[in-house]
Amino acid sequence: MRLQLIAAAVAVCAVTFAARADGTLSMRGVYYKERATRVTQPMLDGAFEVGPKGLLTAHLLVDSITSASASSGAADAVAFNEKRYEVGAGYARQVLPTLRIGANGKYSTESDYTSSYIGARAELELAQKNLVLGVGGGITEDEISAGAAQGPAVPTLACEPGQSLPSCTLSTYSLFLSASQILSKNDVLGLSYDMSALRGFTSNPYRLAIAGNQFLPEHHPEERLRQAAAISLRHYIPRSATAVIAAYRHYRDDWDVRAHTPEVRVVQQIGDDAEAALRYRFHTQTAAYFYRGRYADTMGIDGFVSDDVKLSAFRSHTIEAKLGVLGRMFGLENRWAGARFEGILQYVLQDNRFGNAIVAHLALTLPFEY
Amino acid sequence: MVRPFVRYLTRICICLVLVTAASGCVRVRAHERENLAKRAMTNDRDPGEARFGQHERGSREGADGGTGEPGGGCGCN
């Protein structure tokens, strides 16, 4: 009897121990400012272990946008405020010792745009986890209106030629492939390929292009195929506890936009409880074949007109500084010892109409057990 | 439209196979991966940071997307 009780107690302890799980809760506030637009975004991210093989993630955020930009719906350059709400969740599970699968979704809503995404991914570990292959895909369904227009009437949208409706739809089908290979005790190589196909209303409902001597509503092609390939190399220098990360991304689409984006990051470990990072990113892109600053006549280029600065040829430079510190550096104890405080400051220089931008993050990540 | 897409994808797949095959003889055992397990060597960006960066680039650059979760608000098509 005594042996049975001891066995039962051991079993209960084992189950209790196994039932303990780890999680993290992260709070982040972001401030973004450029010439005509200011965005503040508080967000909450959570990650929770579900059993020994599952991981549940979730996020919630609010975008508060103050803009005087006509492309956001402002009339006569008078600034207005709008909020966007987004929720998302995902679940990943180790189904085999070398195979992990997952699914995730998100929903975003604001006065003139709703977006729903659902996707799935799988990761396969090979060669004693020296090589990790990933594949995934998803579908996004968006609904676009001109609900944020500041004028006396909400304009209708020309979803297709000759068709005016209060709102239009946009479907996006995406696919990605990735590979990560350990090259040595201090080097990891990453490769990825992303593709997305857009079908539907790809214009902005507020923007007007100058064509001949009049303003025309923006009209983009209803289809777009976007592709990007990226390579990254992470190298660790043990003597100085420094990680150097170099990456390059090449983008192309069937609107003739081509982009090259190299980036380098240096992450310096400071003792056991802090790290500082510097980042530089360069971006250069060509213009879409139908983009012009001004069109000669109302026919545009092949019937398309655009006032989208994102589709013009331009260059940008991003400089970023980041500091992350653990709570024990401040003498905090218990759960707070492992809390991570983070600050990021970013400056973007770009030679287009958007002008330069500044971005700042403050974040706190708190680990916990349950 | 399909042909250039397939050609680009084929090149990427060939690169993926070549690089992974060329490094296939490398075997770093689990106990030798101490440095590779450092935060900076795994993922030095939190989900919130990465998500905001993606959204911000999507509203400024015409070469975003293909990240698995395109679209999503800000009326900035």
The tens digit of pLDDT for each residue in A284-313 reads 999 999 999 999 999 999 999 999 999 999
Cβ–Cβ gap B16/A177 under 8 Å: yes
Helix H, strand E, coil C: the string for chain A is: CHHHHHHHHHHHHHHHHHHCCEEEEEEEEEEEEECCEEEEEEEEEEEEEECCCEEEEEEEEEEEEEECCHHHCCCCCCCEEEEEEEEEEEEEEEEECCEEEEEEEEEEEECCEEEEEEEEEEEEEECCCCEEEEEEEEEEEEEEECCCCCCCCCCCEEEECCEEECEEEEEEEEEEEEEEEEEECCEEEEEEEEEEEEEECCCCCCCEEEECCEEEECECCCEEEEEEEEEEEEEEECCCCEEEEEEEEEEEECCCCEEEEEEEEEEEEECCCEEEEEEEEEEEECCCCCCCCCECCCCCECCEECCCHHHCCEEEEEEEEEEEEEHHHHCCCHHHHHCEEEEEEEEEEECCCCCCEEEEEEEEEEEEEC
Q: Which residues of A touch B63 (CB under 8 A)?
A: 228, 251, 253, 257-259, 261, 283, 285
Radius of gyration over alpha carbons of chain A, in Å? 25
Asked which of A154-158, A183-187, A270-274, A292-296 is least confident by mean pLDDT, the reply is: A154-158
Q: Give, in order, the Cα–Cα distances in Å from A356 to each of A130, A207, A317, A347.
A: 41, 21, 10, 8
Asked which of A122-126, A150-154, A209-213 is least confident by mean pLDDT, the reply is: A150-154
CB-based contact A71:B76 (threshold 8 Å): yes
When scoring B27, B67, B74 by the number of chain A Cβ atoms within 10 A, the one with the most, hence best to mutate, is: B74
Q: What does the pLDDT look like over B31-54, one tens digit per residue?
A: 888 999 888 888 778 899 999 998
pTM for the full predicted model: 0.88
In this prediction, residue A150 has a pLDDT band, given cuts at 50, 70 and 90, of: low
Residue A11: pLDDT above 70? no
ipTM of this complex prediction, to 2 decimal places: 0.88
CB contacts < 8 Å between A and B, how many?
236
Residue A323: pLDDT above 90? yes
In this prediction, residue B23 has a pLDDT band, given cuts at 50, 70 and 90, of: low
Q: Which residues of A touch B74 (CB under 8 A)?
A: 63, 65, 72, 84, 110, 113
Return the percentage of chain B with pLDDT > 70, whole number.
64
Q: What does the pLDDT look like over A80-121, one tens digit per residue?
A: 788 999 999 999 999 999 999 999 999 999 988 899 999 999
Cβ–Cβ gap A179/B16 under 8 Å: yes
In this prediction, residue A17 has a pLDDT band, given cuts at 50, 70 and 90, of: very low
Asked which of A71-75, A96-100, A211-215, A361-365 is least confident by mean pLDDT, the reply is: A71-75
Cβ–Cβ gap B20/A179 under 8 Å: yes
Mean pLDDT of chain A: 89
For range A262-270, the mean pLDDT = 96
